[in-house]
Structure 1
Amino acid sequence: MTAATILTLLAFLINNVRGGRFNIRVKYALPGVIVLTLASAALTWYIQEAPGGSDVKINPPPGGQIALCAELSGTAILRTGETLWLAQTLAGAERYFWTPVNVTPDHNWNFRGQIGDPDQVDESFEFRFLIIESEWSAWMKSLLNPDTAKPMAYMVTTALAPHRDAAVITLPRNSVTAPCPT
């Protein structure tokens, strides 16, 4: 049960319990519950699902598809200490492959990297470019680049990190399976 649903039920009870008696006034109570439920659902959607995108933009690739060696670009306006990260996954999967994305002083970014395996032609991949605040970003970078001879190229999680803003695009893989240049 979401917080919005709990608040709606609480408002309903406060409105209809008088002097220890439960008094349902159908004429007023039912429309009130409907309005509160719709308002809380809209608020919940806005908070959880509304496209932020105001500080992160993705330029759709030509043809609307990506190759094994995907190239994506866009813009991101970062505040001091923030970092842009890519959380990429096979559409519908709950395993995110993370990598930091460099943003230039003029707010442009470019990403190039292998997406999936060569045999995943026609599969769709979801790309979430997220602005991660400084504390989380520093922690994520410490996991990504431990003091070892072979730092990891990316990390994998089953949940998204807290973020200030994000842009999301889902793209199918085409049949171009040439690997990324090293």
Structure 2
Amino acid sequence: MSLAAGLAGYAASALLMLIGLLIGSQENQISLNYQILPLALKLVLRPLLGEPSATEQLDPFSDPVSVAFPASPVLIGGIVGLVITSLNLLSLGRLDGKVLARSLGKAGNVAGFLSLAILVSGSLDNASNLLYATFAFYAIILQGGYNCPARDSVTEPDVGLRSLSLALVVAGIVLSIPGSLIPQI
């Protein structure tokens, strides 16, 4: 079930982002605050977004607060879905990422440590701290405690399911790394 949720979340988000990029920014545009995006999204989306919105500075990237791009609401919806799906695939508490990480053995423990480090480093940033701090509170406090395993979790998953679990957990971690770690991008 956790595999299906992660895959469906990424597929729906990718479809919305593709449609949003094809639509482009028209009269119903809103500003996409580029600086609060996760690092991987910044690297992928920057060439596709075009020119930043109006700013008084010659170099809009010298003041990271002023960097915003005109974007369609559909693109923003796809980005939000991708970020929420990625955060849900972090290996903490009772999140889908933790369920997937259980099948990975010791690699799941490393994923849990990296997930916690991502949430802490994102919570320390001024631009995106609300997102990461809220999700850290949700994942650690509200999702903590004992989780009774599913009835069919007694059998070991096959290699294909383990590989797919590993890919989703890694994608969740990579797509959740805060963009504030490298503010020049």
- TM-score scaled by length of structure 2: 0.26
Higher strand share: 1
Q: Which has the higher contact order (CA 8 A, sep 6+)?
A: 2
Q: Find the structure with the greater CA-based Rg.
A: 1
- TM-score scaled by length of structure 1: 0.26
